[in-house]
Amino acid sequence: MARSGTIAAASPSKAPSAARIDWVDYAKGICIVMVVMMHSVLGVELAAGQTGFMHALVAFAKPFRMPDFFLISGLFLSLVIDRDWRTYLDRKVVHFAYFYVIWVTIQFGFKAPAFAAETSWQHVGLFYLESFVEPFGTLWFIYLLPVFFVVTKLTRKVPPLAVWLVAAALETARITTGWTVIDEFCARFVYFYSGYLFAPYVFALSDRARKHPALALAALATWALVNAGLVASGASEWAIVSLALGFAGACAIIAAGTLLARAHWLNFLRFCGEHSIVIYLAFFLPMAATRTLLLRTGVIADIGTVSLLVTVAGVLGALAIWQAALRFNARFLFERPDAFWIAPRKTAPVLQAAE
């Protein structure tokens, strides 16, 4: 791969084939576990009114948890961005819209009685309709991804450096409007676009980590100390620093995923990465059920341990729901039926964050 020291020279070029790449699945696995951990830990701590040892892990991961997920989501976009609009919208918009509609409806089915008890059923209905404008709960990620895909294709002919600089400026501006789509777009698009724009360099970084594991481990240790120190001091929230930590953390997860793939360790993380969208869609139910059970029974007093168990339950429970859906003819929960395709269907797997 050609290398250059300037952003301008890093014009979008073809990433490696989108066939399963081991370190990508490991990196996605790490990311999805961190996402489940964040929701689990903060949910337990809010309900219990106290924090546990898992809180420090969530805080440590905050600077890079979502930046890395979005960067990886953009890695293979160069392979498909030149498709006709019909096919592109089918794969990159309708695909995620289908799962959003299905799962926001499921989540409302479980939460509607509690909402109605606080307000009224009419308000619940309005809240449900509002969820198609303001993303609901944990599902904002798959709501926002299609926006990123469309904006990137629409700006295809704009100089990449100009797009990247605007995206970086939006991240550092810390825009807060109260609307999730606007705020998260401004905060995250730079990472998604960087995955698309700098894909060759990302794969080169992985190659170097694979060839020089000792150096990669030393770099990871240094990064971990710096990231932890900046988080502890509060400096991780500063403009520019947060952008740098987002990219540094993304590089760290890429290196860690590569080293795990090289050693063939923790294959469960790779499996989670291969099915990250499954976990993302379904983890809320086992997470919430386990949290309620453990806190109400009080069988475990330590909040950190409760948070850890809820995290594990969220990941394993989501995979169990997926397997149950496959066995009991409810595949539509995780696979888009033919009726909801607007372009010819391929034989490739439909559950992937980026082709």
Q: Is residue 161 part of a domain?
A: yes
Q: Is residue 191 part of a domain?
A: yes
- pLDDT tens digit string along 166-216? 999 999 999 999 999 999 999 999 999 999 999 999 999 999 999 999 999
Pair of tokens at residue 272: 């989670």
CB 263 within 8 A of CB 22: no
Q: Is residue 236 part of a domain?
A: yes
Number of folded domains that form the chain:
1
Q: Is residue 97 part of a domain?
A: yes
Q: Is residue 12 part of a domain?
A: no
- pLDDT tens digit string along 54-79? 999 999 999 999 999 999 999 999 99
Q: Is residue 163 part of a domain?
A: yes
Percent of the chain's residues with pLDDT above 90: 84
CA-to-CA distance for 150 and 85, rounded, in angstroms? 10
Which domain, by its residues, includes 105? Answer: 22-338
CB 258 within 8 A of CB 206: yes
pLDDT of residue 1: 34
CA-to-CA distance for 6 and 11, rounded, in angstroms? 10
CA-to-CA distance for 162 and 11, rounded, in angstroms? 12
Q: Is residue 116 part of a domain?
A: yes
Q: Is residue 303 part of a domain?
A: yes
- pLDDT tens digit string along 94-103? 999 999 999 9
The model's confidence at residue 14, banded by pLDDT at 50, 70 and 90, is low
User: Among 112, 134, 136, which residue's Cα sits nearest to residue 125?
Assistant: 112
pLDDT of residue 346: 66
pLDDT of residue 16: 58
pLDDT of residue 349: 44
Concatenating the DSSP letter of every residue in 150-167 gives HHHHHTTTS-HHHHHHHH
CA-to-CA distance for 220 and 218, rounded, in angstroms? 5
pLDDT of residue 96: 96
Pair of tokens at residue 317: 């429970």
CA-to-CA distance for 32 and 37, rounded, in angstroms? 8
- pLDDT tens digit string along 249-295? 999 999 999 999 999 999 999 999 999 999 999 999 999 999 999 99
